[in-house]
């Protein structure tokens, strides 16, 4: 693909996302949050692809997949007024359908269209599905890393902002109580992803987000995570108990080892 294709896609995305603005300030805050998220995931994807999967074409494909990864969010919000897939629709699958139906990617090679659409469709799957084509796996891992890095930023800001300033569709509606579940905490020690279905409180949700480090794929993603101090920012809003500190130490050790920043 050419960089002029990407310019056309960016213009399409801007026009498309703007059609979801309403005269309701709350709706617009939620829509704008996804527009800003998209642009920062694009930046992350370019940074990671530039380091890990270089080549002009690869970087263009990565940026296009990032541009469209959440394209399903707008129609999801318009219909259901939420970003929670479990009570509405799978926004990855919806995004892939929109790209196919509207033939947004028609100007680029067919196999590139498929790479981009598959990445959009599965970017939010619990785990990366298996693909015969290794390129599919690479781009999917790349966008999932780029996406997580920005989701951590959104939540670090969200947990610290006064309630009136929070975009309403961000939270999962879990109760903000002082307790947390041992099952979720234990995932941090086991170095595995925590499941949505085990979450009972907002603290569980924060712990689950910390467990996402175990799903990051690229060294450069770990570096960006460490540089931006996001783990510590989210952790600072958790109860300061000894067992949380212990689990956090495991997470931080994992990040510093994977980023290659650990001193021996």
Closest separation between CB of residue 206 and Fe ion, Å? 19
Calculated CA dihedral for residues 34, 37, 41, 42, nearest 10 degrees: 70
Gyration radius of the chain's alpha carbons: 18
Closest separation between CB of residue 4 and Fe ion, Å? 27
- CB closer to Fe ion out of 17 and 124: 124
- CB closer to Fe ion out of 35 and 250: 35
Q: Is residue 224 a contact partner of residue 47, using CB atoms and an 8 Å limit?
A: yes
Residue located via tokens 């987000």: 209
Span interacting with Fe ion, options 51-59, 117-125, 169-177, 233-241, rule CB under 5 A: 117-125
Rounded alpha-carbon distances, angstroms, from residue 133 to 10, 97, 123, 252 = 27, 21, 16, 33
- CB closer to Fe ion out of 124 and 209: 124
Q: What is the total count of residues that contact Fe ion (CB under 5 A)?
A: 2
Kindly write down the DSSP assignment for every residue of 194-252, as one continuous string.
PPGGG--SHHHHHHHHHHGGGG---HHHHHHHHHHTHHHHHHTTS---HHHHHHHHHHH
- CB closer to Fe ion out of 144 and 220: 144
Closest separation between CB of residue 242 and Fe ion, Å? 35
Q: Does 70 bind Fe ion (CB under 5 A)?
A: yes
Span interacting with Fe ion, options 21-29, 69-77, 133-141, 167-175, rule CB under 5 A: 69-77
- CB closer to Fe ion out of 89 and 250: 89
- The interface with Fe ion within residues 87-116 (CB under 5 A) comprises none
- CB closer to Fe ion out of 136 and 259: 136
Q: Is residue 187 a contact partner of residue 211, using CB atoms and an 8 Å limit?
A: yes
Cα–Cα dist 217/177, whole Å: 32
Q: Does 150 bind Fe ion (CB under 5 A)?
A: no
Instruction: Look at residue 84 and give its three-state secondary structure.
Output: coil
Closest separation between CB of residue 203 and Fe ion, Å? 23
Binding site for Fe ion (CB under 5 A): 70, 124
């Amino acid at each position: 693909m050419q960089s002029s294709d990407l310019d056309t896609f960016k213009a399409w995305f801007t026009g498309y996302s703007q059609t979801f603005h309403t005269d309701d300030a709350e709706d617009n805050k939620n829509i704008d949050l996804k527009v800003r998220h998209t642009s920062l995931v694009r930046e992350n994807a370019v940074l990671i692809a530039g380091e890990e999967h270089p080549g002009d074409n690869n970087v263009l494909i990565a940026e296009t997949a990032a541009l469209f990864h959440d394209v399903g969010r707008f129609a999801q919000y318009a219909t259901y007024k939420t970003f929670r897939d479990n009570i509405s629709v799978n926004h990855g699958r919806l995004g892939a359908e929109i790209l196919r139906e509207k033939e947004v990617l028609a100007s680029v090679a067919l196999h590139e269209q498929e790479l981009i659409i598959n990445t959009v469709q599965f970017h939010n799957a619990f785990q990366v599905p298996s693909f015969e084509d290794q390129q599919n796996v690479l781009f999917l891992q790349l966008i999932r890393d780029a996406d997580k890095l920005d989701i951590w930023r959104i939540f670090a800001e969200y947990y610290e902002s006064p309630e009136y300033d929070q975009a309403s569709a961000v939270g999962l509606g879990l109760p903000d109580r002082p307790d947390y579940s041992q099952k979720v905490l234990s995932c941090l020690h086991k170095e595995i992803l925590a499941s949505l279905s085990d979450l009972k409180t907002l603290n569980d949700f924060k712990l689950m987000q910390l467990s996402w480090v175990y799903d990051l794929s690229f060294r450069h993603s770990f570096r960006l995570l460490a540089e931006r101090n996001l783990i510590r920012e989210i952790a600072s809003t958790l109860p300061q108990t000894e067992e949380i500190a212990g689990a956090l130490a495991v997470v931080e050790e994992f990040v510093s080892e994977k980023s290659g920043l650990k001193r021996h």
